[in-house]
Every structure is written in structure tokens, then in C-alpha cells.
Amino acid sequence: MKKETRFCINPECGEPFDTTNPKKFNCNISCKNRGAYLRSLIDFRLERSMYKAFIKNIRIVKDLFERGFKKVTCETLNMMGFDDNLGIIPEKDKFGRSYFIYGKIALLLVSPEEYELYLINQK
């Protein structure tokens, strides 16, 4: 195969390297991983921020449950930094009431402004 000189596509590197492999775009494995990570930060920015917010919501709900809360208002959740704009689709219980699952805890909507917290039954 013909050897050619390319420039590493990791935006933090850009160094020239020689290769015979047509699929090689980085000078070494560290640059390949770093470049993929940097691209993922751009490509999945929204997903990453939604994931972080969802994990934070799980922590908040778990904390409330462990402190003995049986019910919580939307206002309290919001004051604690709970993000209710994640577009989580609710499940329905047998009475047709909406509930949202956060880790092992469910938030059951009992009024427009209040949730009941309960532990999801484990198998």
C-alpha cells in the first residue's frame, strides 16, 4: 500500500502523520479517543444536558423519599432544582392516574400541584 501523509483530525492536535491505512484519521489512539469525545460534546449536547438533569431529578426524588416525604408539591420540587421540562412520558396506573419513574421511586400525580412518592415494587 502507498504511504501517505495526513493531518490528525483531532482539533486539539492537527499534527501530520504517515499511514497506509485509508481508514486512519488520527495520529494515535489517544487523539482518536479525544477527537471522538470532543465531537460527542457537540453532537450530543442536548442529550447530555437532559441526561444530567434527569440524574439530578432522580437524586432529588430519592433524597425526599429517604427523608420520609410521602407527598411533595411541584413548588418544593422546583425549589430543589427539579427539572420538569424533560418531556418524560408518564405511565398510567390501573386507575388511569399518571406517574413518573425516577430511579426506584415513582411520583404519582395526585393533584395538579402535588405528587405522592412511593417505592416501585422490585421483582
Binding-site ranges for Zn ion (CB under 5 A): 8, 10, 13, 27, 31
Residue closer to Zn ion (CB basis): 22 or 81: 22
Q: Which CB, 31 or 117, lies closer to Zn ion? A: 31
Shortest distance, position 21 Cβ to Zn ion, whole Å:
15
Long-range contact pairs involving 14-22 (C-beta distance under 8 Å, separation at least 24)? none
Q: Residue 66: helix, strand or coil by DSSP?
A: helix
Nearer to Zn ion, 40 or 111 (CB): 40
Q: What is the side-by-side order of every strand in the sheet holding 91-92? A: 71-73, 114-119, 105-111, 98-102, 91-92
